[in-house]
């Protein structure tokens, strides 16, 4: 990490409305035209122990895979944090200042992701080049919700200055809220309700795999999509990735599906080497066909 300079910046009043940016330090002259690599963490929209720093183990592996960042087609890394919904195991008392409240309800989370990207466009020139968006679990849901535009923002229009990513890497993602809850005997309804209300028609609208085809058609999708999942994941099951594969295929997306990750749900980002492999794959794809 000594080749990187870390800056943490707020894009809103809540403590969770922040992004971390890791840029090559000033003595490194990165190649021009490199991509930003941006991460959205998971945690079921409410686990306060997940933050944008969940990206750090993966960043370390990516940096270590190059002799020097000067030779890497990477402009920098960023991690997006966003307002969280209430979590039963982490109650907050009435004395909690508004800036620390975890009281977000959909579409607050996805609105925050748009705001964070807008901030990166303004301050880091994100729109001038390519960017790879990596989402883990609920972070993968959020990544694909970007492709759904106003449909998933209760009709609000997303900021037009923000381009969609060139590549989305969805890791162990949740793509069909009703489906995953049903297959887990209703045990996921607690966190889904906390984030999306008890109105199941809102769950469906928020689910990328259930998105009407005219909302997620080819032109609203990234040029490259990589969906990955580990058969040892005990929290997110195989039908989840299958539902998104089907949705993307039906809409003519350029898609690579990898079901060969290993280890538990959170092991994948905690350890980082597999996320690194996916990022390097995405970079290779961009070099072959931007
Ligand atoms: N760590 C979370 C659980 C969690 O993150 C999760 C649980 C089931 C399925 C997906 C999950 N995370 C997705 O972002 C918690 O303790 O509430």
Asked whether the predicted pLDDT for residue 178 surpasses 80, the reply is: yes
3 state DSSP class of 4: strand
Catalytic residue among 61, 87, 136, 265: 265
Q: Based on the residue annotation, tell me whether 137 is a catalytic residue of this protein.
A: yes
Bridge pairing between strands 167-171 and 74-80: unpaired
Query: Given pLDDT bands bounded at 50, 70 and 90, which one contains residue 29?
Result: confident
Domain with 197 in it: what CATH number? 3.40.50.1820
Q: Based on the residue annotation, tell me whether 265 is a catalytic residue of this protein.
A: yes
Taking CA atoms only, the protein residue closest to ligand 1 atom 9 is 235
142 sits in which H/E element: helix 138-146
Q: What is the mean pLDDT of residues 72-92?
A: 97
How many structural domains compose the chain?
A: 1
Structure confidence at residue 56 (pLDDT): 98
Which of 50, 109, 235 most suits a substitution to test ligand 1, by most atoms within 8 Å of the C-beta?
Answer: 235
**Contact status, residue 192 vs residue 202, Cβ threshold 8 Å:** no
State how far the Cα of 114 lies from the Cα of 26, in Å rounded to an integer: 28
120 sits in which H/E element: helix 108-124
State how far the Cα of 155 lies from the Cα of 51, in Å rounded to an integer: 28
Domain of residue 154 covers 4-288
Q: How far is the CA of 151 from the centre of ligand 1 (A)?
A: 25
Structure confidence at residue 14 (pLDDT): 98
ipTM over 0.95 threshold: yes
Q: What is the DSSP string of 44-101?
A: TTT-TT--GGGGHHHHHHHHHTSS-GGGSSEEEEEEE-------TTS---TT--GGG-
Mean pLDDT of the chain: 96
Task: Find, among 228, 227, 224, 244, the residue nearest to 35 by Cα.
Answer: 224
pLDDT per residue over 106-118, tens digit each? 999 999 999 999 9
State how far the Cα of 119 lies from the Cα of 115, in Å rounded to an integer: 6
Catalytic residue among 20, 58, 115, 137: 137
To the nearest 10°, report the CA torsion of 92, 96, 100, 106: 60
Q: Based on the residue annotation, tell me whether 233 is a catalytic residue of this protein.
A: yes
Query: Given pLDDT bands bounded at 50, 70 and 90, which one contains residue 236?
Result: very high
CB under 6 Å to ligand 1: residues? 42-44, 47, 137-138, 174, 235-236
Structure confidence at residue 195 (pLDDT): 98
Taking CA atoms only, the protein residue closest to ligand 1 atom 6 is 44
**Contact status, residue 238 vs residue 138, Cβ threshold 8 Å:** no
C-alpha separations of 31 from 9, 28, 35, 68 in Å: 25, 9, 10, 11
Q: What is the mean pLDDT of residues 12-16?
A: 98
- Residues listed for the chain: 290
Which of 47, 88, 90, 140 most suits a substitution to test ligand 1, by most atoms within 8 Å of the C-beta?
Answer: 47
- Residues β-bridged to residue 35: 74
Q: How far is the CA of 188 from the centre of ligand 1 (A)?
A: 9
Q: How far is the CA of 266 from the centre of ligand 1 (A)?
A: 9
Residue 43 CA: nearest ligand 1 atom is 5
Structure confidence at residue 188 (pLDDT): 98
Other CB atoms within 10 A of residue 71 CB? 11
Of 100 and 27, the one with more pLDDT? 100
């Amino acid at each position: 990490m000594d080749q990187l300079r870390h800056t943490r910046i707020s894009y809103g009043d809540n403590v969770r409305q922040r992004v971390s940016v890791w840029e090559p330090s000033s003595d490194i002259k990165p190649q021009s035209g490199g991509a930003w690599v941006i991460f959205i963490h998971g945690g079921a929209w409410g686990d306060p122990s997940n933050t944008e720093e969940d990206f750090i183990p993966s960043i370390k592996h990516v940096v270590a895979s190059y002799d020097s960042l000067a030779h890497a087609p990477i402009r920098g890394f960023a991690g997006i944090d966003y307002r969280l919904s209430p979590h039963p195991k982490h109650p907050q008392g009435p004395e909690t200042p508004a800036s620390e409240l975890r009281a977000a309800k959909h579409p607050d989370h996805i609105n925050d992701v748009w705001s964070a990207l807008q901030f990166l466009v303004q301050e880091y020139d994100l729109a001038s080049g390519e960017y790879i968006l990596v989402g883990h679990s609920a972070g993968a849901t959020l990544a694909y919700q970007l492709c759904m535009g106003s449909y998933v923002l209760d009709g609000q229009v997303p900021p037009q200055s923000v381009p969609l990513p060139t590549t989305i890497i969805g890791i162990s993602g949740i793509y069909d809220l009703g489906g995953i809850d049903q297959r887990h005997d209703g045990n996921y309804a607690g966190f889904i309700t906390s984030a999306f209300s008890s109105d199941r028609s809102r769950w469906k609208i928020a689910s990328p795999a259930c998105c009407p085809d005219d909302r997620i058609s080819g032109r609203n999708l990234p040029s490259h999509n990589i969906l990955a999942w580990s058969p040892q994941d005990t929290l997110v099951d195989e039908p989840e990735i299958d539902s998104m594969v089907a949705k993307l295929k039906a809409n003519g997306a350029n898609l690579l599906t990898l079901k060969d990750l290993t280890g538990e749900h959170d092991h994948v980002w905690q350890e980082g080497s597999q996320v690194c492999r996916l990022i390097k794959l995405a970079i290779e794809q961009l070099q072959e066909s931007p």
